[in-house]
Structure 1
């Protein structure tokens, strides 16, 4: 089955190369050298931060199994992570807005390094503490860095469209290329060098420490700007509808047992790298979509959510179309191969999702409380994930994938609703223009 893994990986790599080489002037945004220096500095830091995160991803579930914990116990550990992100998210987000986003980014590094250190212990309470620290770190990762970038971008007076370029590049490198290298590097540490499943967590700590040093030496501080007078309720309402998908977070837990239901031997690091290559393909497509100002993010994201929902239905369909095997161990099954291809489609949609959602957040979320609101959005997301993981032994894995698919369909509906909300003010402005020619339409 090694040939299958290499074929999928090679095919995705070829698609990414074609996508990048086929870009023309319409797909590129002309920027200044000053902005490029600013963007490159952020990309280096963001890539190091994501390396610290991605190195851990493929081996969290596997590490817990090597310590002898069952799926239910592991589910509770995952719940601790998502639960702490839910409980402490708005607190750390508010502190980031008030005390500074740079300080929050440094706090992320320290918190995540401490979380990595706990992985050396097999004691359940210590691992639980590590998950709680990891949940806090995750809240900071997905709010403080983006908030710092948006505020610093505006403070330096760069053009608004250039922000889309920074978003797409951050996802292409941080959530794509770096994730692939991290997955392969983790595979070398664990399988080739036989350093054990804790080795990726130690390597993650090193990358986080390097990134923290760069932040301390080259970043300036910025805060939430209370001087901006925006309609908070309207902006929050639109953004809250946009952030409607928690399926990708549940997927992190589900993909390993889905591909190896009978303890099949699968290369976790290599499969993870394949998923990240799929995400790279999606982010490359997203950069083309975002470069076209006439194409609205709210419009094409409806299709992205719908395709994602279909991809996560494959584990359910394969149970009816493919005869399951009862043989323990061995290589990946035919059903696993089909599901792996579907998961690659899902990860491609995730690659489109991240830069697109970042673009929408920059439009809809007010600057004065950006980190706070972004973490507030994560509360329903984390509740959903916690409910699924808490009942991980009560439902078959197909039921959980079905729930994820339904959740994505709901996100598709909410995305359409957001587009209607965004169009309404523009329609009203032009109606005012028709009634009073001297009234200029508002720019939104």
Structure 2
């Protein structure tokens, strides 16, 4: 492995360690033991859930190719996953609000375990069912757990500011450290021990089962709207009314969709961007480097959110601008550096520049997650949190499906340019959100009135 990769990884490790070790009392918030026990329980469960997810990611495409499927068939399988998340996400989100977030979290574990089991079959139809189950599970992962945490945090009377601690730690561990360890563990199972490409999915199922046992034994149930007379259609209408009536919620949804759409597109593009001529690059090590960058971002976010200034609405503008600039690098290098025509070999000079730029983007991702979680906890009404959060994912999944379907139809520079524009638009929308927040002290949304309006509308239909 080239010295370059070790230098980048080592440099990032040193910066992350320095940030964590240099935290002063101003960067830390003293919290009571009751909150610490609650936080640690959630972090353990969230880390196990993310381990179940991260173990699968690097091997999904590889497993399908080992079963003999081509790029087109594999693309359709991926589209099925995102399409499933789009179609069923809002339904399962509404059910989570109505039937309980703990039940939804357990459902996530069961659904994802079943998805893992389908990977043992080389039959295309069985794998398609697995992708559909995986899409449903993904919707629950990114809505039910956060909704349970916010509701339980408030129910126990903890300070609102302490939520930022849990959010930043969850991203630092679940999207950083756990991702790195999961990648290395998956590599151990597949390559070192020779257990085959299905073994990471079996390991993922085990971690999910352990997490489910902890949820069943230690979590209490909480609801968004437990009343019996609210059907799903009324919940959808109520959530739509909330989004339409509060510009802050609508802006937050647009910002989330633009950023996550660009992020998921980047996931598909970084490999061909770094090896356009079939260069021999260490995918696993680069993936670990990206996750380390995400850890750096979450560490920075924890410091920022521990301070009274700058506000999250303010610094996220800068984050979006930096992320936009970082995804412009493939276009800039294509103009300034003559492309190599030599097939194979080691990573090129432009590839080294892109690695650094992509690390900057992943650091922005690390800042984004806990920051968007904090803003969601402030602006999204509790009664339909899961429903609204999954509403936000509909345009995201449509965008990703379109990208996957046309991945060979556009030059890579066009795709990166499109993502860069989306991120710059997110910065503009974030500026608008900050302006609204500063211009008025937001009053809590009158959710009861909104739901009454939705009910009256449904009765008039």
TM-score by length of structure 2 reads 0.88
Q: Which residue of the partner structure matches residue 76 of structure 2?
A: 76
For residues 193 and 331 of structure 1, the distance between their equivalents in structure 2, rounded to whole angstroms, comes to 27
1:396 aligns with 2:411: yes
Q: Distance in 2 between matches of 1:334 and 1:203?
A: 38
Structure 2: gaps of 5 or more residues: 228-237, 444-461
Q: Deviations over 1:380-430 (max 9, x none)?
A: 1111111111111111222211111111111111111111222232399xx
Structure 1 gaps of 5+ residues are: 429-444
1:276–1:347 contact (8 Å) kept in structure 2? yes
Q: 1:18 to 1:9 in 2, by over 3 A?
A: same
How much has 1:225 moved relative to structure 2? 4.5
Q: Which residue of 2 aligns with 1:354?
A: 369
Partner of 1:111: 111
> How big is the shift at 1:327?
4.1
**1:92-131 to 2 correspondence within 5 Å?**
92-131=92-131
Look up the match of 2:383.
Answer: 368
What is residue 182 of structure 2 aligned with on the other side? 182
Partners of 1:47 and 1:106 lie apart in 2 by 15
Instruction: Give the whole-Å Cα distance in 2 for the aligned partners of 1:308 and 1:375.
Output: 24
Alignment of 1:128-277 (within 5 A): 128-225=128-225, 232=242, 233-234=245-246, 236-243=249-256, 244-245=258-259, 246-277=261-292
Matches within 5 A, 1:324-339: 324-339=339-354
1:426 counterpart SS class? coil
Structure 2 CA distance, aligned partners of 1:77 and 1:316? 30
Return the alpha-carbon distance in structure 1 between the equivalents of residues 7 and 151 of structure 2: 43
Q: Taking structure 1 as reference, are residues 274 and 325 closer, same or farther at Cα in structure 2, changes over 3 Å only? A: same
Whole-angstrom CA distance in 1 between matches of 2:133 and 2:320 = 31
SS in 2 for 1:266: coil
**Contact residue 80 and residue 128 of structure 1 kept, 8 A:** yes
TM-score of the superposed pair, with normalisation by structure 1: 0.91
Secondary structure in structure 2 of the residue aligned to 1:120: coil
Q: What displacement does 1:102 show?
A: 0.5
User: Is the 8 Å Cα contact of residues 251 and 430 (structure 2) preserved in structure 1?
Assistant: no
Q: Which moved more, 1:255-264 or 1:370-379?
A: 255-264
Deviation (angstroms), 1:70 = 3.8
CA contact (8 A) 2:97 2:226 kept: no
In 1: Cα distance, 2:96 partner to 2:302 partner: 29
CA RMSD of aligned residues (A): 2.1
Whether 1:423 aligns to 2:438 is yes
Structure 1 CA distance, aligned partners of 2:107 and 2:336? 49
